Amino acid sequence: MQPAHAVGFGVVTFGLALMAAGVVWKGRAVRPLSAARARSTLGRRYPRDLLRSADMAIASARGAASQGEPAIVTIDAVVDIARDHFGRTHVPRRDAAAALRLRYEYADCVADCVTDAYDSERRAGVEGEL
């Protein structure tokens, strides 16, 4: 066998070995999934999902408002987006209102938006933070 053929044979053999290893170990996770890690991940993502839901509700309300009219952003819109888009089945109104207040102030919505997030704060008598 010539040296060039030996190198080619070695490369092909190595490739076949890698393919066989891939078939044997296909889909095996490095660490098995655990319920505790899944709950921890959901807990870390909760504030981020609420803030994104509030951003999406503000953007949607701004898009739906006619020129010269204020955009109406409600807590229910934030809860609906959190449920529909992020799969959050239970979002307390207090948490949604807190997220909406944060994003309302961050997005400078005072100029062109109206929200009920501050009304719920006065009724509850709580500042509410995420």
The tens digit of pLDDT for each residue in 31-69 reads 667 888 878 887 889 999 999 999 999 999 999 999 989
Percent of the chain whose pLDDT exceeds 70: 84
pTM: 0.66
1 has a pLDDT exceeding 80: no
**Sign (positive or negative) of CA dihedral 87, 93, 95, 99:** positive
**Domain residue ranges of the chain, discontinuous segments joined by +:** 36-124
Measure the CA dihedral 45/46/49/53, to 10°.
Answer: 180
pLDDT class of 95 with cuts at 50, 70, 90: very high
CA distances 126 to 17, 27, 39, 98, Å, are: 64, 48, 27, 10
